[in-house]
Chains A and B, each alone.
Chain A
Amino acid sequence: MKNRKHALAPYILTFPSLFLTLALSIYPIGWAMRYMFYSYPGYGKMTFIGFDNFRRLASDEMYWHSVLNTLVYAAGKIVLTLPIALILAVILNQRLRGRHLLRAIYFLPTVISTAVMSVVFYVIFNSYNGILNQYLVKYGIVHANVDWLGTKFAMLTMIIIAVWGAIGNYMLLFLAGLQNIPKDVYESAAIDGANGWKKFFYVTVPMLGPVLQMIVLLAITAALKGYESIMVLTEGGPIGKTEVMYLYVYKLFFPISSAGGAVQQQIGYGSAVGFVSALIVGIVTLGYFYLSRRLNNLQD
């Protein structure tokens, strides 16, 4: 009887989470997926159109451009965020005076609303009278205002903002990983004559391996899905230079009408685009997962 109780315990304990996941994630996803085969503006009759939405998607230049933008945005964000976050974590893992305060300061962007953060960055990067341009011109670094949110630099600006917002979060994850590395490994390395850099490359990085693998995975999915600050700052513009996949999907479901004209939701097409976007994120993530496991196996 006691054994039976023990056997049931994990199922009983996981049931609430399982139920909530099924009810609030899996079911709505399935529910939305059926729209992929319909033309539906969000009201009235749904018209079955088979694979027309996918045919349209295949030749939707704007969407594929947004996919490319997403890959550039994600790569830029990850390549800059992770090394900086790791270096910060290593520094703040030392017995520094005020390290807790510094950790809190670096983590702060994570708890700030993306909308608020984006408005602040608009004040900084605004091409015409942004604070950054005013200082650059004042100190003679540039002669004329730089169009930070213009066609040339808009994506770079978005990546810088994304990096600023993400560093603290990943720093914290790295810190958790670093604190699990036994001290005696460093002591042994020190006895063997390893200096700071050697300890970092030959002890810290390899010992962080499994954590790093997970952090990179999280960073990839977060970067591929991110669009909030872009929506607030540029709405994907100018002329689609910062349009990313999920912003494109959002606009199909919630079109923006600033021109005063009537707008129409495209629930059916939006569902198809959302599905394909999720597939792309899934493929990239699985690809990374596969590669990192193969690397692990090679090391073993």
Chain B
Amino acid sequence: MQKKPFQLVLSAALLVTLSACGSGTTKPSSSSTATTAPATSPQASTATAAATGPKTKLTYWTNDRGASDHIKAEVAKYNAENKDNIEVEVTIMADNYEQSLDVAFASNQAPDIIKMSGSNFAPFVKKGYLEPLDSFMTPDFKKRFTNLIIDDGNKVDGKVYSLPNYGITWRLIYNVDLFQKAGIAAPPKTLNEMVEVAKKLTVAGKDIGAYGFAGNFKNNGGFSRTADPIVALSTGNLSGFNFKTGKFDFSSHIPMLEALRKMKTDGSMIPGFELLDIDPLRAQFAEGKIGMYINHASEPGVYKNQFPAKIKWSAAPVPTIDGTINGAAQFSNATVWLGISAKSANKAKAWKFLENMYSPDVLKTYQEDSVGISAVPDVIAVAKKPSFPNMDLFIPNKYDALYPVVPAVTPEGKNVGDEALRYILEGGDVNKITADLAARYNAALDKARQAGSTTNKPMPDFDAKNLQGTMAK
């Protein structure tokens, strides 16, 4: 009998808990790893007071954490100044962005505006997440992006779903202090030089535990980051794909694989590189423990804000295989940026927001604030020099160019990253490895073509040399 009051309290608590679980809301939810920034500026509240009628709330999801401060500021400004009674709530997502979007679409809680990248654009279109922008774009607006609308890049089956904002150029990032210590005057220009320089840097850095070369090989990313810019600049093949024949051909990767294997066996690569992620790599570079690595235009921002560099560092064009340039280095991630959800109830208003975000006034700030290198001609023309140290070294030169899209295929068995790392660590017959890779990638490509999941066709007239000078003279 004495327990009854306790049981009553417990039952009441359970009921409250259960009812709380059951209280649903249709408001889009954000992931636990996300941060949400509503209209927070003082101006925003002034605008709210001045506006008439209920505001249209738009939700905007992005995983662009590197640009989070910039995005929040632009959205707050838009919320404060727009005359269309629109209020945008931006949610900066962390990992599992694609999975969060899948769940949001499945439960009718998708955001109105979606940030996308080259890797998730095609799946988003095929899943029906995106609204075509063609009916919203005026001819003048479209004209600004004329040379930037690419089949399978941002246009699918004749419909444009997104437009670019900024992209990234690839460079050899190097530790100037360690180069000076080793008595090396200039960054390497060929693969052989790169191997030799890495060896010298390792010898010179022995007393401080520094190594000549590094790559973030943890999850297949490292090999692509390191090899693709060099191979593309040297041969015109991108990610092992030959646009001329419309087939994968990894033989062009052989010199790169051999160079990395040499650096591994002679002890020039930082220990543990096989499980190194890009951020731990950057942290080590900022501490002066790495002589060289290859990465992109995000680095100036990283070494200013994320891992303030304790060393003097610089960036140079990536070396080529043997000193000859037969292609161009890819200007990456410059095909898509923002899109409108196909399920948005406010597509017209979402377009108004997009129109503002794609205006030269807003886009130029991405370059001026060193968030990225602009891909849009009228923005490049008006944007001032990026503010971060060394950002100017990443401004496109005549050898940086936008490539056509490499068809996305999933080969059976190990992918190029797996096989490359295995070769670098354990060696083997490099010709056999690359031939086997090409056979499996081409089999997957044939399947993709048959299934209609890629529209890619051979381009017999393609010559990557012709891409030179298309971004800068």
Contacts and interface: CB of A to CB of B under 8 A. Distances in A.
Interface of A: 39, 41-44, 47, 56, 60-62, 126-129, 145, 147, 149-151, 154, 233-235, 237-240, 254-266
Contacts of B333: 260
Contacts of B223: 259
The 9 closest A-B pairs by CB, nearest first: A127-B272, A262-B408, A258-B221, A238-B274, A259-B224, A43-B127, A264-B410, A258-B219, A239-B422
Nearest to A144: B271
Given A127-B271, A256-B219, A259-B220, A239 B425 contact: yes
A44 B452 CA distance: 11
Given A262-B118, A264-B408, A235 B219 contact: yes
Contact of B412 (A41, A43, A60): A60
B177 to A, nearest CB: 19
Interface string B72-113: 000000000000000000000000000100100000000000
Interface string B110-129: 00000001111111001110
26 contacts: A39-B451, A60-B413, A62-B414, A126-B280, A127-B271, A128-B270, A128-B271, A147-B271, A151-B274, A237-B218, A238-B217, A238-B275, A238-B421, A239-B422, A255-B410, A258-B218, A260-B119, A260-B221, A260-B225, A260-B332, A261-B119, A261-B406, A262-B118, A262-B123, A262-B408, A264-B409
Contacts of A259: 220-221, 223-225, 417
Interface in B119-154: 119-123, 126-128
A151 B413 CA distance: 20
Interface residues of B, number: 49
B224 A56 contact: no
Given A237-B219, A239-B274, A61 B126 contact: no
B453 A238 contact: no
Contact of B224 (A39, A149, A261, A265): A261
A53 to B, nearest CB: 11
A47 B413 CA distance: 21
Interface in B254-291: 270-272, 274-275, 278, 280, 284, 289
B272 A149 contact: yes
B119 A257 contact: yes
A237 B219 CA distance: 8
Contact of B127 (A42, A234, A266): A42
Contacts, number: 118
A266 B410 contact: yes
B425 A151 contact: yes
A255 B119 CA distance: 11
Most central of B122, B209, B221, B271 by chain A CB within 10 Å: B271
B429 interface: no
Contacts of B412: 56, 60
Contacts of A240: 414, 418
B434 interface: no
Nearest to A151: B425
Contacts of A60: 412-413
A158 to B, nearest CB: 12
B274 A261 contact: no
Contacts of A238: 217, 274-275, 421, 425
A141 B406 CA distance: 50
B426 interface: yes
B165 interface: no
Contact of A260 (B224, B421, B453): B224
B414 A128 contact: no
Contact of A239 (B102, B221, B418): B418
B367 interface: no
Contact of B272 (A41, A150, A266): A150
Contacts of B422: 239
A149 B223 CA distance: 19
Nearest to B272: A127
Contacts of B278: 258
Nearest to A130: B272
A62 B415 CA distance: 11
B63 interface: no
Given A127-B275, A260-B119, A254 B99 contact: yes
A238 B269 CA distance: 15
Contacts of A128: 270-272, 284, 289
B157 to A, nearest CB: 13
B239 interface: yes
Contacts of B122: 262
B413 A62 contact: yes
A265 B99 CA distance: 11
A261 B220 CA distance: 11
A150 B274 contact: yes
A56 B440 CA distance: 13
Contact of B421 (A43, A62, A237, A258): A237
A41 B453 contact: yes
Given A128-B271, A150-B272, A239-B422, A258 B220 contact: yes
A240 B219 CA distance: 11
Contacts of A150: 271-272, 274-275
A266 B289 CA distance: 40
Q: Which residue of A235, A255, A257 has the most chain B CB atoms within 10 A of its CB atom?
A: A257
Interface string B172-210: 000000000000000000000000000000000000010
From B118, B123, B239, B284, name the one whose CB has the most chain A CB atoms within 10 angstroms.
B123
A256 B415 CA distance: 12
B123 A43 contact: yes
B118 A126 contact: no
Contacts of B216: 258
A259 B117 CA distance: 12
A262 B406 CA distance: 9
Contacts of B118: 260-262
A259 B413 CA distance: 17
Nearest to A127: B272
A257 B217 CA distance: 13
Contacts of A147: 271-272
Contacts of B280: 126
A230 B235 CA distance: 38
A238 B220 CA distance: 10
Contacts of A149: 272, 275
A44 B448 CA distance: 13
| Chain A CB within 10 A, most for which of B117, B275, B406, B408 | B275
User: Which of A44, A260, A265 has most B Cβ within 10 Å?
Assistant: A260
A69 to B, nearest CB: 15
Contact of A261 (B209, B275, B408): B408
A126 B123 contact: no
B356 to A, nearest CB: 28
